[in-house]
Amino acid sequence: MSEFLYLYRNGENLSPEQMQQQMGRWMTWLKDLETKGVLKSAGQPLERAGKLVSGPSRAVTDGLFAEAKDVIGGYSIVLAKDIHHAVELTAGCPIFAVGGGVEVRPIAKM
């Protein structure tokens, strides 16, 4: 089994009622990954605002994305046989229902 990083990209803005429903779905989904024994770490949510520091002069900007919906809202680490398996495990992730997405990145083995 190898480790994969899930980066969750926020979807559209949600109403309070939608957020409550969405929260229930996240609980179910994470629980499901845990039951399958593939959730290495549920990870942490990230603040929406941040800074991007880049270039030799370490120029500071407000980030890569103009759209709030593209911002990475959090991450998890899962265990999977290969990248296909890791992609397959994103099935049922609630973020798809609200126009968001999951970036799946293999964590390089040293």
Partner 1 sequence: MNALEPHFFRHEWARLVAVLVRVFGAGNLALAEDVAQDALFRAMQVWPVDGTPESPSAWLTAVAKRRAIDELRKARTHAHAAPELARMLDSEWTRAGTVDELFAPKPLRDDELRMMFWLAQPRLPEASQVALVLQLCSGFGEAEIASAFLTTPAAIGKRLQRAKAVVTQSGAPRELSDADLGARLDVVHRAIYLLFNEGYHGACPEAAVRTELCREALRLVMLLVDHPATRTEATLALAALLHLHAARLPSRLDESGELLPLLEQRRELWDGDLAARGLELLDRSSEGEAASAFHLEAAIAACHATARSFEETPWEHIVRLYDALSAIAPSPVVALSRAIAIAQLHGPARGLAELAALEGEELRGYVFYHAALADLSARAGDRSAARAHYERALALARNPSERTFLERRARALSDVGPPP
In the complex, the residues that contact partner 1 under the rule CB under 8 A are 13-20, 22-23, 26-27, 30, 42-45, 48, 73-74
d(CA 82, CA 87): 9
Per DSSP, which regions of the chain are E strands? Answer: 2-9, 39-41, 52-54, 59-61, 72-80, 101-106
Q: Which is nearer to partner 1, 2 or 22 (CB)?
A: 22
- A 10 A CB-CB count for 103 gives 12
d(CA 93, CA 106): 18
Q: Which is nearer to partner 1, 35 or 44 (CB)?
A: 44
Q: In angstroms, what is the minimal distance from the CB of 59 to partner 1?
A: 23
Q: In angstroms, what is the minimal distance from the CB of 43 to partner 1?
A: 7
Q: In angstroms, what is the minimal distance from the CB of 79 to partner 1?
A: 17
